[in-house]
């Protein structure tokens, strides 16, 4: 199983990344080949709906998105990871997802997806808009949702240390690794 983890937090070593690392540890222990793609430091501009990609073999925007396309073209499972920013995903992750409004998405071998998210709020309701968005995306792109780990009450860097969610993320990584291909 090839798994790509798309990390949408700009904060190095933050709560999202720590959660990702737990999933990755579980997936690798179960034999998966994992690629971690962090959007931090990458220049990924929003889609401008110019339709250049409809008649050419590439996007008209020159930035770091080809690195993301390359990873997505070589993965069976895609894990979206994002902090909650104003009740939804980070702008960094949204920009990358919008760039899948491109015929290249028809070539992606992705079968499975999973979601990791963190927020400062103390209620799981804070994740409802994000979950609704991902469910819609998964249905649209025919990706099978394998699971999610959403963690409340984490705000400062390091808050997630020792959280039981890390074991859940590890178990989700194992589950993804063992999904039938």
Q: How far apart are CA 176 and CA 169, in angstroms?
A: 10
Six-digit token string for 113: 């997806």
Considering the complex, state which of residue 126 and residue 179 has its C-beta at the smaller distance from ligand FMN: 126
Q: How far apart are CA 84 and CA 89, in angstroms?
A: 5
Using CB under 6 A, pick the residue from 25, 30, 120, 171 that binds ligand FMN: 120
Instruction: Please list every residue from 131 through 150 that binds ligand FMN, using CB under 6 A.
Output: none
3-state secondary structure of 150: strand
Q: 37, 71 in Cβ contact below 8 A?
A: yes
Considering the complex, state which of residue 63 and residue 121 has its C-beta at the smaller distance from ligand FMN: 121
3-state secondary structure of 134: helix
Q: Under the criterion CB under 6 A, does residue 36 sit at the interface with ligand FMN?
A: no
Q: Under the criterion CB under 6 A, does residue 11 sit at the interface with ligand FMN?
A: yes
Q: Under the criterion CB under 6 A, does residue 14 sit at the interface with ligand FMN?
A: yes
Considering the complex, state which of residue 42 and residue 157 has its C-beta at the smaller distance from ligand FMN: 157
| Count of C-beta atoms within a 10 Å radius of residue 12 | 11
Least distance from ligand FMN to the Cβ atom of residue 83, Å: 3
Q: Under the criterion CB under 6 A, does residue 16 sit at the interface with ligand FMN?
A: yes
Considering the complex, state which of residue 4 and residue 16 has its C-beta at the smaller distance from ligand FMN: 16
| Count of C-beta atoms within a 10 Å radius of residue 125 | 10
Interface with ligand FMN: number of residues (CB under 6 A): 18
| Chain centroid to CA 105 | 15
| Residues 6+ positions from 181 with CB-CB distance below 8 Å | 1, 76, 111
Considering the complex, state which of residue 59 and residue 154 has its C-beta at the smaller distance from ligand FMN: 154
Q: 112, 27 in Cβ contact below 8 A?
A: no
Instruction: Please list every residue from 41 through 100 that binds ligand FMN, using CB under 6 A.
Output: 83-87
Q: Under the criterion CB under 6 A, does residue 155 sit at the interface with ligand FMN?
A: yes
Residues of the shown chain interacting with ligand FMN in the complex, contacts defined by CB under 6 A: 9, 11, 14-16, 83-87, 118-121, 126, 154-155, 157
């Amino acid at each position: 199983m090839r798994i790509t983890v798309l990390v949408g937090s700009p904060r190095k070593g933050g709560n999202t990344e720590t959660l990702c690392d737990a999933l990755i540890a579980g997936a690798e222990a179960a034999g998966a080949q994992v690629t971690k793609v962090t959007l931090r430091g990458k220049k990924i501009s929003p889609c401008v709906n110019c339709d250049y990609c409809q008649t050419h073999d590439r996007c008209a925007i020159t930035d770091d998105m080809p690195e993301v396309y390359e990873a997505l073209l070589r993965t069976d499972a895609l894990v979206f990871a994002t902090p909650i920013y104003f009740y939804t995903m980070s702008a960094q992750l949204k920009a990358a997802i919008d760039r899948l409004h491109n015929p290249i998405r028809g070539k992606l071998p992705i079968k499975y997806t999973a979601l990791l998210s963190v927020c400062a709020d103390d209620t799981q309701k804070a994740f409802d808009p994000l979950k609704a968005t991902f469910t819609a995306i998964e249905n649209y792109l025919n990706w099978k949702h394998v699971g999610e780990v959403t963690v409340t009450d984490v705000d400062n860097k390091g808050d997630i240390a020792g959280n039981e969610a890390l074991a859940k993320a590890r178990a989700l990584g194992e589950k993804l690794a063992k999904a039938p291909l």
